[in-house]
């Protein structure tokens, strides 16, 4: 049972070492959490913020794993390999847009 946590921790360590975008998303998440704490946002707002943060980090992790799997499977151009990588990138983009929308809905009223 504890091996599963060990392997998950190894996966996070690999993500941090391999994917600069994961680090950027993680740092932006930290800034968002600090802003939420400073502005003392409500519990329900925290729920949306934390959900958006985890959605982006999960999408980035899945995208990186898709890219690694495709790179392992082939080193030549193939339309399906490109489609898999593009779809993974689209998942990150969509989740990031969701996070931005959530942040705007929550933080703008506090700032105005």
Establish whether 45 is a catalytic residue.
no
86 is in an annotated binding site: yes
Residue 44: pLDDT band with limits 50, 70, 90: very high
**How large a percentage of the chain has pLDDT more than 70?**
99
Return the axis-axis angle of helices 20-39 and 2-18, rounded to nearest 10°. Answer: 100
Picking from 4, 21, 1, 98, the residue whose alpha carbon sits closest to that of residue 62 is 21
Question: What is the per-residue pLDDT across 58-93, written as a single tens digit (0 to 9) for each?
Answer: 999 999 999 999 999 998 999 999 999 999 999 999
60 is in an annotated binding site: yes
Q: What is the CATH number of the domain that holds 98?
A: 1.10.287.3610
1 pLDDT more than 90: no
2 pLDDT more than 80: no
18 is in an annotated binding site: no
**Residues 19, 55, 60, 66: which is the catalytic one?**
60
Number of independent structural domains in the chain = 1
Range of the domain at 94: 2-111
pLDDT at 112: 87
């Amino acid at each position: 049972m504890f091996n599963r946590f060990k392997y998950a921790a190894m996966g996070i360590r690999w993500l941090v070492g391999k994917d600069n975008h994961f680090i950027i998303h993680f740092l932006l998440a930290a800034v968002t959490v600090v802003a939420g704490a400073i502005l003392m946002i409500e519990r329900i707002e925290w729920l949306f913020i934390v959900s958006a943060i985890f959605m982006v980090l999960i999408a980035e992790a899945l995208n990186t794993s898709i890219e690694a799997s495709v790179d392992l499977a082939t080193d030549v151009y193939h339309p399906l390999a490109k489609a898999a990588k593009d779809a993974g990138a689209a998942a990150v983009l969509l989740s990031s847009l969701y996070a931005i929308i959530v942040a705007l809905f929550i933080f703008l009223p506090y700032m105005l």
